Copies of this chain bind each other. A is one copy, B any other.
Amino acid sequence: MRTPPATRSRAPSPSAETGAADSIPEPAHLELRIWLRLLGCTAQIENYLRTRLRAEFGISLARFDLMAQLDRRPAGVSMSDISRLLLVSNGAVTGLVDRLVKEGMVTRKSNAGDRRAFIVSFTPAGRRAFAKMAKRHEEWVLSLLGDIPIDAKQQLLGQLVHLKRRLEDTR
């Protein structure tokens, strides 16, 4: 690979900067700083998991996330439900499921009760494949977050739960 792992690497390491004196003022508001950190941490973890999943299983993060939702709902899920759960547009789900069907991971059954909707669920092969990936995935997350002191973790989770609730209200 000639391309350096730009996706992985990180941050304003001063030596990496082009300009000489660069100022780089910290954003003023606490709120803005929180948002930028939130975004940065998430992107970092996402990139890590993405490359791992691709390297070990040749699967994309989007596919994995979709399968994770299926895994938690044995009864199957409709297309719109997936879209809501994944916070992704309806059009995106169509393509994703198409590809997963082609790979034999999931099936699309038409719904007896409502012929507009489809029910997406795992194939046996899909469920098996996901179980393996989920195990590794969990290990990776643990390796990233495991070393944080336990009370810090509990605090952080608490904050995030609150934030999520608040965001749901604001829509």
Contact = CB atoms under 8 A, between A and B. Distances in A.
Contacts of A138: 29, 32
Interface in A89-109: 89-91
Nearest to A171: B8
A84 interface: yes
29 contacts: A3-B90, A4-B80, A6-B83, A9-B84, A10-B168, A11-B84, A13-B84, A18-B77, A18-B117, A23-B74, A30-B150, A31-B144, A33-B157, A34-B145, A34-B153, A34-B156, A35-B45, A35-B145, A37-B160, A38-B42, A39-B42, A39-B46, A42-B42, A44-B167, A48-B167, A143-B170, A144-B167, A148-B166, A159-B159
